[in-house]
Amino acid sequence: MLSLSAPLADQLHALLHHLPAPLHRAALRFAHALRCAWWRVTRPRIEGCRVIALNADGQVLLVRHTYGSPAWMPPGGGIGPGEDPVLAGAREFEEEIGCRLEGGAALTTTLDTLHGAGNLVHIITGTSHGMPRPDGREIAAAAYFALDALPPDLAPGLAARLPHWARGHLAP
């Protein structure tokens, strides 16, 4: 399986952030297309996280990416080898939208197929603090939504699972 060492991936990530935002978004779209093609051929097992973060009003935070699907979805991303899923969720949450996740906890895992890859997704819950600040590079938009007023263009299957996951966060 093709993968980058953590130091090399960190260097590439830092390099991308020095590019002008439009060029950065173009690089993300290109890299995403390559990654999807690679996954369709190799069918690897990947591991990631999604963060179900509620604010003080009980609203859930959702994002739209500048690449891939235009659907609203919880923030999240990949988990590095040996990385704790809850810490990865908090890291991705802060990187993507600039908010802090408090009380992070692992709720459940799902196994999905993502562009041919088996995708083990850790669902992390927590409380969001701060106003989301999408960087316009990876994240195009971020907003809080009431659980009974979710946007119609959610990622497939999410409308049925989001309220259940949010209730899991609120359970004692």
Per-residue pLDDT of 74-117, as tens digits, reads 999 889 889 999 999 999 899 889 999 999 999 998 878 766 76
Per-residue pLDDT tens digits for 15-58: 666 677 777 667 666 776 776 677 577 776 778 899 999 999 99
Residue 60 pLDDT > 80: yes
CB-CB neighbours of 146 under 10 Å: 10
So what's the pLDDT on residue 151?
94
Domain boundaries, the chain: 6-170
* Full-model pTM: 0.74
pLDDT band at 118 (very low <50, low <70, confident <90, very high): low
Is the CATH number 3.40.50.300 carried by domain 6-170?
Answer: no
Give SS3 for 30: helix
Beta strands 45-54 and 117-129, pairing class: parallel
pLDDT band at 6 (very low <50, low <70, confident <90, very high): very low
